[in-house]
Amino acid sequence: LDNTVYINTGGTEGSMGKRNYHSYVTDQQLAWLRDDLAALRDKSQPVVVGMHCPAMNNYNAAFENRESFNPAGKTQELFDCFEGFSYVHFLTGHTHYNANMERGAIFEHNVAAVCETWWWAGKLSGVGVCKDGAPAGYAVYEADGRKLNWYYKGVGQDRDKQFRTYDMNKVREFYTPAVIEILSQWPRRADDGAGDDYFDVADNTVFINVWNWDSQWTLRVTENGRELPVERVWHRDPLHTICLDYARILNGLDPVNDWESLRHSHMFRVVASSPRTSLHVEATDRFGRRYEETMRRPKEFTADMN
C-alpha cells in the first residue's frame, strides 16, 4: 500500500515546495483493500501488508503503541479493514529505527535501514549504525505454511548478534565538558541534558540495547550467579551518538534534526555491584532462540565496539 500522501506545499512546476506529506492510506486504496480481503473466506489465513510509513510508534517514555498516521484516525480506518482476521503483519520502514508493536491481531514490524542514518554514520565513522543503535541491516522473514518467524540481520554481522552492551561508567568518561558542548548543538538536546545525555545514569550501570525486542522476548542478566533486576528505559544509544552526532559536528557539518540520536523503546539497564565484575547477558526471542554474551568489565566505549 502507498501511504505517503505528498503535499509539497508551495511547490509549482519547476520549483521546489516544502516537500511535506501526510501518512495514511487513501480512501481509494481502502476500498480496494476491503474488496480484496473479502475474497478470503478463511480469516485465520496470514495476511502481510507492506507500507512505507509506520501505522504506529512506541518511541515514548511509556512505551505505548500509539497511532501515527496523519491526520488522526486514519490508522484506525486501516485497522478496521482487518476486523475478524487473526494473523496480520504490517511491514513498514521510513523511521530508520526498529520498533515492534502489537494491536489485537495486528503485529507491526517497523524495520530499521540498510542505509542506517542515510549512510552518514558509516561515512563519518566507518560504522553503519541506525538512529536507535541497531546496526545497518534488514529483516528476514521465513514462512512455513501458516507459520511465520523473523529476525533482524545486521550487515556483515552474524545473525546471532541481536544486542549490544554498554558499560556506562566508560560511556560517561567519554562525556567530557568538550564533548557535552559539542552535543548540545543538536536541537532535541536543548531541554534534555543539554548534551550531557546520561546525567541521570547511576554508577556501575550497564545498558543493553536489544534492537528487535517485542513483548515476547525475555532478558536475563546475572552477576556472579546472582540475577540482577532488569529495567526498560527510554534512552539514547551511545554508539550512534559518537558515530553520527559527535562525528558530524567534529567534521564541521550542521546538526540536522532528522538524523539526531533519539530515545527509543528497546534499551534496558541493570546496576552491577562494582565497576569490575563480569555480567552474563542472555536474551531470548519469541521463537526460543537464545543470544548470549559474557560482558567483561570495564568494557571500553569506542566506535568499533561490538
Quick one: pLDDT at residue 88? 97
Contacts by residues 125-129 (CB-CB < 8 Å, ≥ 24 positions apart):
125/242, 125/243, 125/244, 125/247, 125/303, 126/303, 126/304, 127/239, 127/243, 127/303, 127/304, 128/155, 129/237, 129/239, 129/240, 129/243, 129/244
What is d(CA 157, CA 160) in angstroms, rounded to the nearest whole number? 8
Among the candidates 111, 134, 151, a domain finishes at 111
Give the angle subtended at the CA of 297 by the CAs of 184 and 152, to the nearest 5°: 70
Residue 14's CATH number: 3.30.750.180
pLDDT at 190: 82
Domain membership of residue 306 (yes or no) is no
Residue 306's Cβ-count burial label (10 Å; 0-12, 13-18, 19+) is: exposed
- Cell, residue 213: 525486542
Q: Which of 48, 76, 111 lies at the terminal end of a domain, its last residue? A: 111
Q: What's the structural domain count of the chain?
A: 2
Closest by CA to 199, choosing from 175, 232, 230, is 175
* In a shared domain, residues 181 and 277: yes
Q: Are residues 105 and 185 in the same domain?
A: no
> What's the rounded Cα separation, in Å, for the pair 172 and 154?
26
**Over the Cα atoms of the chain, what is R_g?**
21
Stretches in the chain below the pLDDT threshold 50 = none
The verdict on residue 305 lying in a domain is no
Q: Is residue 42 part of a domain?
A: yes
What stretches of 158-257 adopt beta strand conformation (E)? 164-167, 205-209, 218-223, 226-227, 231-235
Residue 153 lies in a domain: no
Shared domain for 102 and 215, answered yes or no, is no
Give the CA count within 13 Å in the CB-facing half-sphere of 281. Answer: 26
Structural domain includes residue 154 = no
* Per-residue pLDDT, 278: 98
Domain membership flag for residue 242: yes
Q: Does 133 fall in a domain?
A: no
Q: Let me know whether 22 and 95 are in one domain.
A: yes
In a domain, 168, yes or no: yes
Three-class DSSP category at 220: strand
Residue 200 shares a structural domain with residue 87: no
Based on the fold, state whether residues 291 and 168 are members of the same structural domain: yes
User: How high is the pLDDT of residue 159?
Assistant: 96
Domain enclosing residue 178, as ranges: 164-295
- Examine the fold and report which residue of 111, 146, 173 is the final residue of a domain before the chain moves on: 111
Please check whether residues 208 and 99 belong to one and the same domain: no
Q: Collapse the DSSP code of 138 into the 3-class scheme (helix H, G, I; strand E, B; otherwise coil) and give the result.
A: strand
168 and 275 part of one domain: yes
